[in-house]
Structure 1
């Protein structure tokens, strides 16, 4: 289950960028694989859910994308698995928009941290391309996309 976390003000996590969009995750037994740790498919689903939540918070919810006939499609995902997580673990997933050409593409990075010991479980990066919803063809970003991406970059402390 994904919810926005209630952060303890004493919690000091070493995030790779400032102002992460945070998703709170409690690993359930259904999230684990035969080896007893979190299945990599669950990690990918959590990354995608966090990306949707963040971009929606930046003003680009599905309703806006549908009205504009455009969306940002994932074209590449890189995941570095740094530690295992298990049923019962409480994880915090931070995400940021870290680059954009404000025309066709953007990049988003993720950092997944085990809350109990602040261990980084994974780091990931997704690259996106703006597409026309009806055809799937590459498209220039509408101004609404540019505005949201600029706000995301500024929040992450990345020069625009």
Structure 2
């Protein structure tokens, strides 16, 4: 999961995940289903934060997690079974206390086309109560150090 330098990324140095669209990822229209795209966004998000040291063990140790509060997805072109794709992500905002934002871009290397752009926002929650909670120092350190400037940040 490393940067694909020949691809035209919206921001520098994305964390990437390579995807091959499987036949069971497609819907009745013959292209990747919207639910599958959202699953890919979640998969790359977890892989990214895990690579930064914000592992599930750390979540359990602190009793906190970053929960998705909003996701905006722009489906620009269809992906079909057999397509090879690269999904990039960046942490693009962190308020230092509760909220973070993450940006995504999905590219098909065969033609260099961007198929999807997305933005998700997250809020820190207590794992037991599921209520908003200030992020622990460990999260703040990781999120601050990984944030990329120039992204879309928080919507609104």
After TM superposition, is the score higher than 0.5?
yes
> Aligned pair count?
151
Give the equivalent residue in structure 1 for 2:36: 42
TM value normalised by structure 2: 0.92
Give the equivalent residue in structure 1 for 2:56: 62
Change over 3 Å in CA distance of 1:117–1:126 after alignment to 2: same
- Within 5 Å, which residues of 2 pair with 1:137-148? 137-148=131-142
TM value normalised by structure 1: 0.90
Counterpart of 1:86 (choices 51, 62, 80) is 80
1:5 and 1:24 in contact (8 A); partners too:
no
Structure 1 portions without partners, runs of 5+: none
Structure 2 portions without partners, runs of 5+: 152-156
- Cα deviation, 1:44-91, whole Å, max 9, x if unaligned, reads 000000000101111101010011000000010000000000001000
- Cα deviation, 1:98-122, whole Å, max 9, x if unaligned, reads 0010100000000000111110000
Give the equivalent residue in structure 2 for 1:134: 128
> Runs of at least 4 residues of structure 1 off by over 2 A?
4-7, 156-159
Instruction: Compute the RMSD of aligned alpha carbons.
Output: 1.5
2:2 and 2:15 in contact (8 A); partners too:
no
Change over 3 Å in CA distance of 1:98–1:5 after alignment to 2: closer
